[in-house]
Structure 1
Amino acid sequence: MPDAAGFDEFYQGSRQRLLGFVYLLTNDLVEAQDVVQEAYMKAWQHWSSIDRYDDPEAWLRVVANRIAVSRWRRLRNRARAYLRHGPDDPVPAPSVDTIAVVEALRRLPEEQRTAIGLHYLLGLPVADVARETGVPLGTVKARLHRGRAALATHLALDPAPHSTEAADV
């Protein structure tokens, strides 16, 4: 178990100097605070050996410097990759129809919405929907039927089925 009192004293006596040093390296206060925090975490993990060093603060500065450089390199490599590959393709906005369906789905009770999502969006058979939701098969069929009817009303569609699907569900 590390000497908590010794570490606390070390921390109190060195934190401002270390933060100032790392701030000079990074020119970013938030980044410097993150680096200092990580360096002190490493110091705490190894405190039982670090506290015997002639100059534990020197060890801490080296560690903080390495952490700052490592973070800078990661950022630089990410920027290079971005320049090399370019930005991601823009995601198209949802269509007016998609927005209308989502708004109509939001108006359904949760049980109907869940049944419709599992069956129609994920393609699960009715029996699997019943097993996953923990309700009888007939309940799932009723929820799907009522959900479709409510969606048709919300979307001002003809609620009559256009296929034999209603018999299957």
Structure 2
Amino acid sequence: MAKSVAVIISILCILAFSGLSQCHEEPEFFVNGQVYCDTCRVRFPTRISQPIKGARVAVECRDRDNGTMTHNAIGMSGDNGEYNLTIKGDFENEICEVVVMKSPIAECAEVMEGLNRARISLTSKNGLLDTHRYANPLGFITSNPLFQCTQVLAELDLSLD
């Protein structure tokens, strides 16, 4: 009986110490979002907005005090304009954003100022338990609106005027 208790206590101690060693591992965050083409030049997605496959996106983290870049990860959007980037590390003292960099579509390559970046929190010290971070849709704007835009905006009680 005493041997069994000693074995159980030994196993529990080993498990406790293995858990402590994992406490110092850097967290891993999964950043997800979508890149689209604003085909109506209205600066928000509509039912005829088009996802952009192959758009270059980056996660940039900058020091809060001096603005120095502390981390930069680049990825591409896949099918349906969706991107998934894995970021390792805790950036509690940085401001992190997803930024669209380049569109592969010549007719939809103009950056939508103000909608070309989305702030995300990449720290485990903010009360969020989930390690997935979802950025707002980001995009580029077409040179000329599609002819269907008038109808689409009328459905939303909006107009191009």
Normalized against structure 1, the TM-score is what?
A: 0.21
The structure with the largest alpha-carbon Rg is 1
Per chain length, whose mean CA-contact separation is higher, i.e. which structure has more relative contact order (CA < 8 Å, sep 6+)?
2
Normalized against structure 2, the TM-score is what?
A: 0.22
